[in-house]
């Protein structure tokens, strides 16, 4: 639909998802549910291996929750859909790489949506902040995730003050992977996605599941669980055609051809 706030384009094994909700790409409950549907379909489509998430326009990636919708009575604890706010943060079993192509301001829930992706590429003019403190609410996902992503004291300052940081500072703290010229953002994101699309999907799935499921486990318990193949993706990987293909390709000194099975 032309008025769909979530635009999608398939490019081979890559799905490009654009949050396009003028003027600022803010997310209300209906948009969040739509995003959840899109990423759920991406997760379940065996032909798709990588997704790119970006924002429509040149100024906003996403400022987060639609405060106008909130002012009109939409509660903060409304049903945001299968993937939680923005469709990504709580989507179960999403074992494929997702790249954020941050084309502008990423604030609040938009910042949280960004850090729910696996790789973050930002245009030079992008800015980042968690301004929830100024609205008298907590940055839910960022409070849980950010102190584990960047130095604790920097994370706490961002959470306590809501101050903005630019791409130079974000890169310095390891918050983002790469800063690129504004007009090169999607080209670079597509190059990265194409590289990942050629990679071993069963290995990527195992990496994502293990990281997600062992987050609160002790190291030795996590390693033991991996060795016992108690993670479904680990078991699938170690009994797959792809694992044999990897060994054969190495022995034959050629590039492997991954089938995802």
**Which of the residues are catalytic?**
112, 132
Q: Is 94 in a helix, a strand, or coil?
A: coil
Contacts of 102 (CB under 8 A, 6+ apart): 54, 55, 61, 114, 120, 121, 122, 123, 126, 176, 185
Residue 182 DSSP symbol:
G
Contact 3, 30 (CB under 8 A): no
Residue 134 DSSP symbol:
G
Angle at 204 between CA 210 and CA 219, to 5 degrees: 25
Q: How many CB atoms lie within 10 A of CB 155?
A: 20
């Amino acid at each position: 639909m032309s008025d769909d706030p979530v635009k999608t384009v398939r490019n081979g094994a890559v799905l490009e998802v654009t949050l396009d909700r003028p003027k600022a790409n803010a997310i209300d409950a209906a948009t969040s549910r739509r995003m959840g549907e899109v990423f759920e379909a991406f997760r379940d489509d065996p032909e798709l291996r990588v997704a790119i998430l970006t924002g429509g326009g040149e100024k906003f990636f996403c400022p987060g929750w639609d405060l106008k919708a909130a002012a009109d009575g939409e509660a903060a604890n409304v049903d945001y859909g299968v993937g939680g706010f923005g469709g990504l943060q709580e989507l179960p079993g999403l074992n494929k790489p997702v790249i954020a192509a941050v084309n502008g301001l990423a604030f609040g829930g938009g910042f949280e949506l960004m850090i729910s992706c696996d790789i973050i590429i930002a245009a030079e003019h992008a800015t980042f902040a968690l301004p929830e403190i100024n609205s008298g609410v907590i940055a839910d996902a960022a409070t849980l995730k950010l102190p584990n992503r960047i130095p604790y004291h920097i994370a706490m300052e961002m959470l306590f003050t809501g101050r903005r940081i630019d791409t130079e500072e974000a890169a310095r703290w390891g918050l983002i992977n790469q800063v690129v010229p504004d007009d090169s953002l999607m080209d670079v994101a597509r190059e990265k996605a194409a590289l990942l699309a050629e990679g071993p999907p069963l290995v990527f799935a195992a990496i994502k599941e293990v990281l997600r499921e062992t987050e609160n486990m002790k190291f030795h318990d996590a390693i033991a669980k991996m060795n016992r193949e108690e993670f479904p993706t680990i078991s699938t990987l170690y009994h797959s055609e792809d694992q044999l293909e990897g060994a054969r390709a190495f022995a034959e000194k050629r590039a492997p051809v991954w089938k995802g099975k």
